[in-house]
Chains A and B, each alone.
Chain A
Amino acid sequence: AQSVSQHNHHVILSEAASLELGCNYSYGGTVNLFWYVQYPGQHLQLLLKYFSGDPLVKGIKGFEAEFIKSKFSFNLRKPSVQWSDTAEYFCAVTATSGTYKYIFGTGTRLKVLA
């Protein structure tokens, strides 16, 4: 079955700490991978995406993610978090053709303490 797992449901960090959020997927075939962020009271926004090429992708606001095909992983990282990064983060996967339906992970709620 196709699925996306985010093992960290809640993460609390102090400002300037480094962040890594795990994302593993189970999907037959080649995939496109996404990280979305949902700030409190706002809609989902795209942080970054991987389609092909360099497995290390850089997104907005200093976020990056690395696609490791052998581990079926697409972990999100940020070297130094800020209070404004407090949000919920969702990993998602789609096929590389067809309807491009998203399968989302359960989300990770990040709280950054000032």
Chain B
Amino acid sequence: GAVVSQHPSRVICKSGTSVKIECRSLDFQATTMFWYRQFPKQSLMLMATSNEGSKATYEQGVEKDKFLINHASLTLSTLTVTSAHPEDSSFYICSARARNRAQETQYFGPGTRLLVL
């Protein structure tokens, strides 16, 4: 149990376009979802925390108009990278906390590799 999927797994886009990444909890309801960014050979950096039905809380230094997060249901959160530029190329990972499970534990998706040309 506690499976999180992401789609797409890889995406290549042109500079200036927008890209949407989906994060789904497949077999549980996610009260909270998190979005991370991982640069090569570096750690996961938390970008934002989103609770179902409310606005996301962004970490310091993360542009909320650049990285739009929507958490419309208990099983789906989306991250839209707007007007993407090459410096946005990275590995984006989502995680979810499950309702009725230990709130301290997060379940991670497989990640989405974004390459902006």
Contact = CB atoms under 8 A, between A and B. Distances in A.
Contacts of B109: 43
Interface in B61-109: 93, 95, 97, 103-106, 108-109
Contact of A102 (B34, B41, B42, B103): B34
Interface in A97-114: 99-107
Interface residues of A, number: 24
Nearest to B45: A104
B104 A100 contact: yes
A36 B41 CA distance: 16
A104 B108 contact: no
Contacts of A94: 104
A43 B43 contact: no
Contacts of A9: 41
A44 B105 contact: no
A32 B104 contact: yes
Contacts of A36: 108
B25 interface: no
B116 interface: no
B110 A49 contact: no
Given A51-B104, A100-B97, A101-B49, A90 B44 contact: yes
A111 B95 CA distance: 26
A42 interface: yes
B43 A102 contact: no
Given A44-B93, A100-B97, A105 B105 contact: no
A43 B42 contact: no
19 contacts: A9-B41, A34-B105, A36-B108, A43-B93, A43-B108, A43-B109, A44-B93, A45-B108, A49-B104, A49-B105, A90-B43, A96-B104, A99-B57, A100-B106, A101-B34, A101-B46, A101-B49, A102-B106, A104-B43
Interface of A: 4, 9, 32, 34, 36, 42-46, 49, 51, 90, 94, 96, 99-107
Given A43-B109, A49-B105, A106-B43, 9 more contacts: A4-B43, A43-B108, A44-B44, A45-B108, A46-B105, A100-B97, A100-B104, A102-B44, A102-B46
